[in-house]
């Protein structure tokens, strides 16, 4: 289906795509050089907003109208077949190797097909940052859902602006677009709560739309056609803003921490604007930045970036170590990267490019009669067949897994188990065991406040410290603990010795920790237990706790991380929660420290 307007190829933008997708892969591999590699997705958002808006505006300029039906069909044919192939491959692989895991991601598979993955993950409270169970091999599709929702709604919004804004100049259109982007940015800042899991604002279409809209605003101000000709003036300025934007983007990808509060309160805005500046420079074939990003290896990666993004996560997750505490070697990760590039290259050559160019179903004689309708019919038949295969395999796997599915662990037996998963939906607080000796008030006693780890070791703790009060809750964050402390104080249940076990579910800064210590009071002896958790916030948490112990005379550190080193037999499969022997060791370490 040819476009009414021929689209100009901009090789520099493929180079930018390559940098963005490599940043995401490096981040998921845990490479220190890309601590902010998750920002590669934000670069893709700005790029998509620019290109889609530029394409639609150019079509209207040339033809006088928007052909929305053709736009949506082209987007579907560009994106859906390759994603469907990946989903079928994941379904088939898990159907034969791990039907139970396939059963667990059945909702994600269905939401992926409808491009609602991000809202499904929000609804199910699935964290992008804090997962202890088996990682979903399709968890990365949330970003494609955000983009596809933009592709569906933005053309309608753009059409509405042209229809209802009097004399719709590019300046007016850009102003409205930036106003909507500001609402999205404010929603991110308002909904983000420091010290808590930022997944809600990270996934949400409402809180991430500003990146796409900033890209659209750049397209209003400087469309790509104005950059196609050599600039009489301003070429030096174009190179300068491109270089500044590229430096800012790369510095943020290399150095930003995903839990940095500033990232959700303006940091992503800076990244989006910087990416827009790079896009302007890259869209010009005469700029030095455009030529730099047109380097052939980068172009090769950029052309295949969609397939690389689709396949990188399933390959990494399904071929990675089974033990969550075990890290892949660099050599093994490079082998995984090679597999990703091979699969994505095959997808590009045999699926994506033939469907995009309309050559997939052409016969040898290249007959042109009804070729468009034949191609469409064959594509949709292929998609329908793929969906049927997925449904059959998923149904078979769900029947097998469902019949053997274990009974979920309830909060009522939390006190007698030592392996409660923190991925469970938060449940009411594990009420402190107010024994007859302490019901009237805790004087000189011991109180422990923590998350599911402390809940799991509660029976062992009560054996060694009989009158201890344990207040634990699944998925508790340190930011929740101040309210717990205040409630215990009001009930006269806060002992003179307070044990804090928090950090399993995410990082916290010294400011939040000091607020908690102040709430407990200088008159209490406080023990902070550090963490052993196979996630990247472990070292941040442990460093913050150690600094607090050095800075406060009434705070002492219990070094569980060092004490449990090399003791894999103490832990459950998630590498965090404890087997009975591990719970006994944990309780013994605490009892010995406070004795």
Span 302-313, pLDDT tens digits: 999 999 999 999
> Which one, of 216, 172, 208, lies nearest residue 55 by Cα?
216
Mean pLDDT of 588-592: 94
Average pLDDT score over the chain? 84
Residue 22 CA to chain centroid, in angstroms?
Answer: 15
Which stretch of DSSP H or E encloses residue 71? helix 68-97
> Which one, of 205, 201, 199, 198, lies nearest residue 180 by Cα?
205
Model pLDDT, residue 3: 42
Model pLDDT, residue 414: 35
Model pLDDT, residue 518: 93
Percent of the chain scored above 70 by pLDDT? 82
187/487 Cα distance (integer angstroms): 31
Mean pLDDT of 144-162: 95
Residues 6+ apart with CB under 8 A from 14: 293, 294, 298, 299, 301, 302, 303, 305
The residue assigned the tokens 């620019």 is: 50
Burial bucket for residue 260 (CB in 10 Å: 0-12, 13-18, 19+): middle
**Is residue 69's pLDDT more than 80?**
yes
Q: What is the pLDDT of residues 11-60, one digit of tens each?
A: 999 999 999 999 999 999 989 899 999 999 999 999 999 999 999 999 99
Model pLDDT, residue 385: 62
pLDDT band at 323 (very low <50, low <70, confident <90, very high): low
pLDDT band at 434 (very low <50, low <70, confident <90, very high): very low
Contact 279, 249 (CB under 8 A): no
Model pLDDT, residue 326: 66
Mean pLDDT of 342-350: 94
Which stretch of DSSP H or E encloses residue 147? helix 142-164
Q: How many Cα atoms occupy the beta-carbon half-sphere of 460 within 13 Å?
A: 21
Please give the CATH number for the structural domain made up of 417-594. Answer: 3.40.50.1110
**Is residue 354's pLDDT more than 70?**
yes
CA torsion through residues 340, 342, 346, 348, sign:
positive
> SS3 sequence, 547-560?
HHHHHCCCEEEECH
Q: How many Cα atoms occupy the beta-carbon half-sphere of 316 within 13 Å?
A: 26
Q: Is 452 labeled as catalytic in the residue annotation?
A: yes
More confident: 63 or 83: 83
520/497 Cα distance (integer angstroms): 10
Torsion from C-alpha of 466, 467, 473, 476, nearest 10 degrees: -110
401/103 Cα distance (integer angstroms): 6
Q: Please pick, among 184, 452, 475, 564, the residue that the annotation labels catalytic.
A: 452
Model pLDDT, residue 574: 79
The residue assigned the tokens 């109208």 is: 65
Q: What is the pLDDT of residues 251-269, one digit of tens each?
A: 999 999 877 888 999 999 9
pLDDT band at 442 (very low <50, low <70, confident <90, very high): very low
**Is residue 394's pLDDT more than 70?**
no
Model pLDDT, residue 46: 98
Outline where DSSP puts E strands in 261-312: none
**Is residue 130's pLDDT more than 70?**
no
446 DSSP β-pair partners: 497
Phi-psi region of 420 (alpha: psi -120 to 50; beta: other; left: phi over 0): beta
Q: Please pick, among 197, 239, 430, 574, the residue that the annotation labels catalytic.
A: 574
Residue range(s) in the chain whose domain bears CATH number 3.40.50.1110: 417-594
Overall residue count recorded for the chain in this entry: 595
Contact 522, 554 (CB under 8 A): yes
pLDDT band at 424 (very low <50, low <70, confident <90, very high): very low
494/393 Cα distance (integer angstroms): 54
Query: Looking at 11-15, 90-94, 356-360, 542-546, which range is the least confident one?
Result: 356-360
**Helix, strand, coil percent content, the chain, rounded in steps of 5:** 65, 5, 30
Contact 433, 462 (CB under 8 A): yes
Model pLDDT, residue 436: 33
Torsion from C-alpha of 313, 318, 324, 328, nearest 10 degrees: -80
Q: Is 574 labeled as catalytic in the residue annotation?
A: yes
């Amino acid at each position: 289906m040819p476009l009414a307007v021929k689209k100009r190829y901009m090789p520099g933008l493929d180079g930018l795509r390559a940098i963005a997708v490599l940043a995401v892969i490096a981040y998921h591999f845990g490479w220190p050089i890309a601590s902010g590699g998750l920002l590669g997705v934000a670069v893709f958002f700005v790029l998509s907003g620019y290109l889609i808006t530029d394409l639609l505006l150019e079509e209207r300029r040339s033809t006088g109208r928007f052909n929305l039906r053709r736009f949506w069909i082209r987007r579907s044919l560009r994106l859906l077949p390759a994603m469907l192939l990946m989903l079928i491959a994941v379904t088939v692989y898990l159907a034969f190797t791990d039907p139970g895991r396939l059963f667990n991601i059945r909702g994600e598979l269905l939401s992926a097909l409808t491009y609602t993955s991000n809202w499904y993950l929000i609804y199910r409270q699935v964290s992008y940052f804090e997962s202890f169970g088996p990682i979903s091999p399709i968890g990365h599709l949330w970003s494609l859902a955000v983009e596809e929702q933009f592709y569906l709604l933005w053309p309608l919004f753009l059409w509405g602006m042209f229809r209802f804004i009097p004399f719709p100049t590019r300046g007016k259109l850009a102003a409205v677009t930036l106003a909507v982007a500001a609402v999205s940015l404010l929603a991110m800042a308002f909904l983000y709560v420091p010290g808590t899991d930022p997944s809600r604002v990270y996934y949400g279409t409402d809180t991430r739309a500003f990146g796409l809209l900033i890209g659209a605003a750049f397209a209003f101000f400087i469309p790509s056609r104005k950059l196609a000709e050599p600039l009489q003036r301003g070429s030096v300025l174009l190179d300068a803003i491109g270089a500044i934007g590229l430096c800012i983007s790369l510095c943020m990808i290399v150095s930003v921490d995903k839990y940095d509060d500033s990232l959700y309160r303006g940091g992503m805005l800076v990244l989006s604007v910087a990416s827009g500046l790079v896009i302007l420079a890259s869209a010009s074939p005469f700029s030095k930045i455009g030529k730099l990003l047109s380097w052939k290896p980068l172009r090769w990666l950029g052309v295949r970036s969609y397939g690389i993004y689709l396949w990188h996560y399933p390959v990494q997750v399904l071929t990675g170590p089974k033990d969550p505490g075990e890290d892949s070697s660099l050599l093994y990760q490079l082998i995984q990267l090679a597999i990703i590039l091979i699969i994505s290259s095959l997808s590009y050559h045999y699926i994506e490019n033939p469907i995009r160019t309309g050559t997939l179903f052409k016969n040898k004689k290249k007959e042109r009669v009804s070729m468009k309708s034949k191609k469409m019919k064959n594509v949709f038949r292929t998609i329908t067949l793929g969906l049927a295969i997925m449904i059959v395999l998923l149904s078979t796997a769900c029947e097998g897994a469902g019949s053997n599915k274990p009974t979920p662990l309830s909060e009522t037996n939390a006190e007698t188990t030592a392996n409660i998963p923190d991925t469970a939906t938060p449940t009411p607080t594990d009420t402190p065991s107010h024994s007859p000796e302490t019901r009237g008030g805790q004087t000189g006693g011991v109180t422990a406040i923590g998350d599911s780890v402390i809940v799991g070791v509660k029976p062992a703790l009560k054996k060694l410290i009989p009158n201890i009060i344990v207040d634990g809750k699944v998925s508790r964050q340190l930011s929740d603990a101040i309210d717990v402390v205040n409630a215990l104080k009001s009930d006269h249940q806060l002992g003179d010795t307070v044990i804090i076990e928090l950090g399993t579910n995410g990082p916290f800064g010294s400011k939040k920790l000091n607020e908690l210590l102040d709430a407990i009071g200088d008159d209490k002896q406080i023990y902070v237990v550090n963490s052993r958790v196979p996630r990247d916030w472990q070292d941040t948490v442990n460093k913050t706790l150690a600094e607090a112990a050095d800075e406060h005379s009434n705070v002492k550190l219990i070094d569980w991380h060092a004490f449990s080193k090399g003791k894999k037999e103490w832990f459950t499969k998630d590498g965090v929660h404890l087997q009975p022997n591990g719970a006994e060791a944990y309780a013994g370490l605490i009892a010995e420290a406070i004795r």
